[in-house]
Amino acid sequence: MSFLRQNGVDMKILAVSDQVVERIYTLASSGYFNDVDMILGCGDLPYTYLEYLVTILNVPMFYVPGNHDPEFIWDHAATRAEGGINIDREVICAKDLILAGLGGSIRYRPDGVNQYTQNEMYWRMFRLIPRLIRNRWKYGRALDVLVTHSPPYGIHDENSQAHQGFRALNWLINWAKPRYHLHGHTHFFRRNLKPSSTSIGSTQVINVFPYRLIEDKNE
């Protein structure tokens, strides 16, 4: 296994998205993920699944909602994963990593929950900018890991209306230059036909469907 390194500290991230993997229950309970330091959820998973992982692994968990998840309401337990933190439109620092999240997909139904037009996602993304500027001044970098449900436009997305990527994410990647952008939403069942990891400058864009242990090739 290889590790994500931040400030000289080895870290391993378990990222999950879109599909419950029955084998995960066995792997987690048997100690396979015991060296994982953080769980990141990229949306469209039952919250009971996320709650199981955070309970068994007992590490911090951060997630964003997908277009099939309920609308988040702070005082309604059914709209959140207990034991985790919803980072949609949030910027946080955890274990020396700067994380930012943007949930949801492109709008493909007028009444769709967690669905946005291209322009709406730009406005949601711009809310992050003041905190990212502050990070760049304070830490010398704006962002380490961008967590979203949808992919950027033209990268790992599809031609269908429901699976278009967001142009705002392309802009954010080029400006903030995170080390990783983790997303789900598009289901790559045969990775040999379509790459699940793409480099944009210094950023590695990774489709984590249905789960990935994040690797870092830097020493």
- pLDDT digit string, tens, across residues 79-137: 899 999 999 999 999 999 999 999 999 999 999 999 999 999 999 999 999 999 999 99
Q: Is residue 126 part of a domain?
A: yes
Sheet of 97-102, strand order: 91-94, 97-102, 145-148, 180-183, 203-207, 197-200
Q: Is residue 219 part of a domain?
A: no
**Lowest mean pLDDT, pick from 153-157, 177-181, 188-192:** 188-192
- Domains contained in the chain, number: 1
C-alpha dihedral sign at 202, 38, 128, 102: positive
Burial (CB count within 10 angstroms: exposed 0-12, middle 13-18, buried 19+), residue 49: middle
Give the pLDDT mean for 158-169.
94
- Residue 164 sits in a domain of what CATH number? 3.60.21.10
CB 181 within 8 A of CB 155: no
pLDDT at residue 198 tops 50: yes
Tell me what pLDDT residue 73 has. 85
Q: How confident is the model at residue 2 (pLDDT cuts 50, 70, 90)?
A: very low
pLDDT at residue 16 tops 80: yes
Q: What is the DSSP string of 107-167?
A: --STT-TTEE-HHHHHHHHHTTHHHHHHHHHHHS-S-SEEEESSPBTTSS--SSGGGPPBH
Q: Is residue 209 part of a domain?
A: yes
CB 87 within 8 A of CB 58: no
pLDDT at residue 159 tops 50: yes
Tell me what pLDDT residue 7 has. 53
Rounded to 5 degrees, φ, ψ at 115 are -125, 140
Dist CA 37 CA 198 (whole Å): 24
pLDDT at residue 31 tops 80: yes
pLDDT at residue 28 tops 60: yes
Q: Is residue 218 part of a domain?
A: no
**Lowest mean pLDDT, pick from 66-80, 114-128, 153-167:** 66-80
Amino acid letter for position 169 = L
Tell me what pLDDT residue 76 has. 83
Q: Is residue 82 part of a domain?
A: yes
Tell me what pLDDT residue 3 has. 42
CB 91 within 8 A of CB 146: no
The rounded percent of the chain whose pLDDT value lies above 70 is: 90
SS3 call for 105: strand
Q: What is the DSSP string of 31-64?
A: TTTTT--EEEE-S-S-HHHHHHHHHHH-S-EEE-
CB 156 within 8 A of CB 198: yes
CB 217 within 8 A of CB 4: no
Dist CA 208 CA 22 (whole Å): 16
Tell me what pLDDT residue 123 has. 98
Give the pLDDT mean for 151-172.
95
Dist CA 162 CA 87 (whole Å): 23
Domain enclosing residue 198, as ranges: 4-213
Write the DSSP symbol of residue 72: P
The rounded percent of the chain whose pLDDT value lies above 90 is: 82
Q: Is residue 76 part of a domain?
A: yes
